[in-house]
Amino acid sequence: MLTGKHLIAGDWVAGETTFASTPAHGPVHDFGVGTPALVAQACEAAEAAFPSFAATSRADRARFLEAIADEIDARGEAITEIGTQETGLPAARLQGERGRTTGQLRLFAAHIRAGEYLDRRHDVALPDRQPLPRPDLRMIQRPIGPVAVFGASNFPLAFSVAGGDTASALAAGCPVVVKGHSAHPGTGEIVAQAIDAARKSCNLHPGVFSLVQGGKRDVGEALVQHPLIRAVGFTGSLGGGRALFDLCARRPDPIPFFGELGSVNPMFLLPAALSARGDALAKGWAASLTMGAGQFCTNPGIAVVIDGPEADAFATATRAALEPVGAQTMLTDGMAEAYRAGRDRVAAGTGVRSLLTTMCEVRTATPNLFEVSGADWLADHMLAEEVFGPLGLILRVRDAAEMEAIAHSLQGQLTCTLHLDDADTALGQRLLRVFDRKAGRVLANGFPTGVEVADAMVHGGPYPASTNFGATSVGTLSIRRWLRPVCYQNLPEALITEDQR
C-alpha cells in the first residue's frame, strides 16, 4: 500500500509539497517532494546509526541482507504491478530484475560471511629484530560511514533503492540514504518498505536506511555536500554525474564519488569472424541493440568493421534484423526525447549515412541504423557520445591499422567486445592490449548487454564510463568501495575483535 511519503529513520514522513508520478499506463500517484531539510534529518540519523551498525557481526549483517531479499520477494506481485505501470517495462523484465536484486543481496550475504573481503593482514611482532624491533601490525578493512545512493532511472530495482550500491554499502557496514528516482517512486517506496521491515526484524537502528523521494537539483546537491556523508554511489547521465562529482571534490573534506556515467560499448568485428558469420553477428547485434528499448548502460552502440563486401553484407543483414522491430515504450518522456535528439545529432554528423531511419514519438523508441567511415568518425568527436536507446552506428575502416586507431581513440568504456576467429588472433592480441586500458570488461564473441552478478565481474572503467577506474558497481568487489584500510599496532588482546583475528 503506497503512502506517498519519505522514509526517514523508520518514520514515514509526508512532504510539504507533492509531485505526481508519470506512469506509462495505470493510475497516477502523488508523492512527497524531497527537501534539503529531509536530507539533513536522514544524514543525521545515518550517522547516529553508524557506530552500532559498523560494530555488528558479519553474520548479523548477512542476515539483514537476506531478510531484505525475503521481504522484497514477499512483495513481488506488488512490485511487478507498480513497476510495469511506472516504467512501461514488461512484467517478465521486472520479475527477472527482482531476481537479480534479491540474488545480489544473498550473494553479498554469503560473501561477507566468508570474510575474505576484509583483506586481513597480520605481521607478528619481532621484538628481537636488529637494529630495531618490529611492532605487531594488523590491517583490516573498515566501513567508512554513511553513504549516499542515487536511484537509477533505467533499473528500478537492480540499480535503485535496494540495488547494488545500497546492498554493497549495507554489506560493508555503512548506513545508506537513498535519493529515489522520480521515474518510479512507487516501486521505490515498496522496496523501501521491504528494507524497513527487514531492519525491524533484525532489530537494527532505524537510521541504517532512509529514502528521500523526488526533489529538485538542490536535494541531490544537499545530499552529496552534507558533511556526514562519506561517499556517494550514482548511476546516471554524464552531465548530472559530473556535476555531482565536482561538488564532492569541492567539499571542504572531499569524498569519493563512485559514478557510472555512460559508454558506447564498441564491438570490433575482425575479418575472419565477419566473413564466416556476418549474418549471425548482425542478428545478434540487432537483438542486443533493441533489448529493453536499448536502455542499458552496456548497449553496444558501435560496430567497427573493415570496409568491403563483408561489411556491405553485415550492414544489410543488420538493417533486415532491425526493420521488423516495433515501437517500444521508454522509461520516461525525457528519455524518449533525448533518444530522438541523439538520433538527429548522429544523422547530422560528418559523413554519416542513414541505413534505417524511423520516426517515434511521445514515450516510444524505434531502431535507427547509421554508418560512417573511420576517418570521419575520428574527425567528429560528437559521434563518440552515447545515444541511450536502440541506435546503431557502423564504423567502416580501411584496414586493420585504422581499426587499431579507432581503438586507441576511444574514451573510457564499460565494455569493449572482440568478435574473432582463429585467423584473427594476431589482430585480436593487438586490440586486446589497447582494450586493457580502455574498458572495465572485455568480451570475446558475445554481446555486452547482461551483466552477471558474480565475484569476478567488473562494471566500471576509465572516465567517462565511471569516475573511479579502480572500482566496480556490480559484483562482490563493489563492497570494497565503502571500506578503508586501518592498521592496528600493538593492540592488547582485550581490544582485538573477531574480524581482526
Helix orientation angle between 271-290 and 309-322, rounded to the nearest 10 degrees: 20
Amino acid present at 86: E
DSSP 151: P
DSSP 348: T
Give the ranges where 348-424 is alpha helix by DSSP (H). 374-379, 400-409
Catalytic residue among 97, 260, 310, 386: 260
Give dist(CA 366, CA 293) in Å, integer. 8
The C-alpha atoms of residue 432 and residue 444 are separated, in whole angstroms, by 10
- Facing residues of 269 across strands? 419
CA atoms within 13 A on the CB side of 314: 31
| Active-site entry in 174, 297, 360, 416 | 297
Q: Which amino acid is at 57?
A: S
Is there a catalytic annotation at residue 47? no
Q: List the one residue out of 414, 428, 474 whose CA is nearest residue 103.
A: 474
Phi-psi sector, 23: left (phi>0), alpha (psi -120 to 50), beta: beta
- What phi and psi, each to the nearest 5 degrees, are found at residue 420? -150, 155
The residue whose grid cell reads 538527429 is 344
Other CB atoms within a 10 A radius of the CB of residue 134 amount to 12
Q: In what order do the strands lie in the sheet with 483-489?
A: 121-123, 137-143, 483-489
**Annotation says 248 is catalytic:** no
For residue 233, the surrounding DSSP H or E stretch is strand 231-235
Which grid coordinates are listed for 287? 537483438
**Nearest one of 362, 292, 357, 285 to 328, comparing CA atoms:** 292
Q: Which residues of 379-395 are buried (b: 16+ CB within 10 A; e: fewer)?
A: ebeebbebbbbbbbbbb
Catalytic residues: 260, 297
